[in-house]
Each structure stands twice: as structure tokens, then as C-alpha cells.
Amino acid sequence: MTLKILTPLMFLMFISSFCFSQNYLEEVNGRPIRGSKQSDVVGDPHLFKNFKSATVLLKNGRSVKDIPVNVDLVTNTPLFSKSGEVVLAFVEPVAEMLVIDTLSSGLAKMRYTFDGDGKETSCYLVLSEGKLSLMKKLWKVVWEDKTYNSATVTKTILEKSAYYIKNTQSKSLDLFKPSKKSILAAMSSQSAAIEKYLKDNKVSFSSGQDLQKLFDYYNAL
């Protein structure tokens, strides 16, 4: 019989590997969740129709790769799927999700962060990142409608969204209503360049794609 002796280096590598495995298991531990999807409610509370593969960064600094995720936008709860069947909520708070999504132009990595505007943590899609980040807050509400003289209440899930800007220096997260006036105020440090950009380009302030291009331009200056 041949005995394999662990050298100190091999022992440390073994312990490190064991600890990493334990941490990984802890990172993807979840808690059961009832969720907002009920039989008497019309609509889907989730961000995605189907769970999507993502890299998840937790607020404790750990990250988990290639995990199926979703978000309950009614309760602002990040979710993950275990074994493709059981849906759980993360035990540790989630900082962000880097999601592989399919767009008309092909596969793209979409970044969703979980931030607060002073009231509660919400889900934001990062459209442009830099000294002045453009983010789109996403949430859903359950709307109850009762017909006059009827006891029947119809519950419908409605989608909501709003733009926010985040300043890198101040770390402030502020509601942003796109208009020429609000853009020039937010980008006052480069007002001449932004004035020219708005003059040379047909920018629709209701278009997320146009706003993304404008903020990308500003962040590159």
C-alpha cells in the first residue's frame, strides 16, 4: 500500500479549496419565498419571463457565477433558481447582477444594481456608467379595480419605471426627468459640448437608447 503524504503547501491548498467550497455553498443558500405571483392576480411580477444566467455580486463582497436569476419587482426581491425548480430568495443582500440577455443585436450583458434612493432598495438597470451614471428604476405594482356596484375586485400587475442619475463623487442617487433643461443642468461642467451634441443629433428625451448615447458621450469627455 502506498501512502501519500501531504506537504504543508498541499495541506494549505486543500484547506483553502475546502473553505472556498463552503463559502460558495453559503453564498447560494436561499430562503423559501411566497412571491407575488398569485392565482387571483393578472400579470407577471418578475423582471424576466424566464430565469436568466448571471454573475451575482453580494454586498458582503462575494460573487457567484452562472446562476439562474430573476427579480420579483413587486417586492423588490432578487431570486435564484436551485436545480431548475425551486425558487429561493438570496439570504445575503445582493449588490448587482450581470445578466446575459438576448437583444435584437445579439447577446448582451445587462447590469442590474440594487440601490436605494433614501427610502428602500430597488432594482435599477444601468444604462450608462461613469462620472454621471444613468440608471432606470424598474418596479411593478398590483392595481386593484372594482366595478361599480360589484363585489368583484380585479387585480392586475402594472409595470413602472423612472430614470435616475448617480453622481460618482457625491454618490447621490436622484430622480431624473429627461429634458434639455435638466440635461444641461446635470452636465453643466461640459455645457458647450453638450449643447453642440444636442444640436448635431436628434435626441428624443423619451428614448432610453438616445439617452444612453448622450450619457456615454458625456462620460467620455
Place of cell 402594472: 158
Per-residue 3-state assignment (H helix, E strand, C coil) for 17-61 = HHHHHHHHHHHCCEEECCCCCCCCEECCCECCCCCEEEEEEECCC
The pLDDT, as a whole number, for residue 217 is: 98
- Listed in sequence order, the residues at least 6 apart from 51 whose beta carbon sits closer than 8 Å to its beta carbon are 68, 69, 70, 79, 80, 81
Over its length of 221 residues, how does the chain's per-residue pLDDT go in tens digits? 333 443 443 433 333 333 333 333 344 566 766 656 666 788 999 999 999 999 999 999 999 999 999 999 999 999 998 766 788 999 999 999 999 887 766 788 899 999 876 668 899 999 999 999 999 999 999 998 877 777 778 889 999 999 999 998 888 899 999 999 999 999 999 999 999 999 999 999 999 999 999 999 999 99
Helix, strand, coil fractions of the chain, as percent rounded to 5: 25, 45, 35
Are 144 and 154 contacting, i.e. CB atoms less than 8 angstroms apart? yes
How far are the Cα atoms of 46, 185, 190 from residue 195, in angstroms, in the given order? 39, 11, 9
Q: What is the pLDDT of residues 30-65, one digit of tens each?
A: 676 665 666 678 899 999 999 999 999 999 999 999
Are 64 and 94 contacting, i.e. CB atoms less than 8 angstroms apart? no
DSSP assignments along 165-182, one per residue: EEETTT--EEE----HHH
The pLDDT, as a whole number, for residue 147 is: 74
Q: What are phi and psi of 191, to 5 degrees?
A: -60, -40
C-alpha 16, offset from chain centre = 31
pTM over 0.95: no
Are 98 and 69 contacting, i.e. CB atoms less than 8 angstroms apart? no
Q: What is the pLDDT of residues 67-94, one digit of tens each?
A: 999 999 999 999 998 766 788 999 999 9
Rounded Cα distance, 123 and 210, in Å: 21
Rounded Cα distance, 180 and 184, in Å: 6
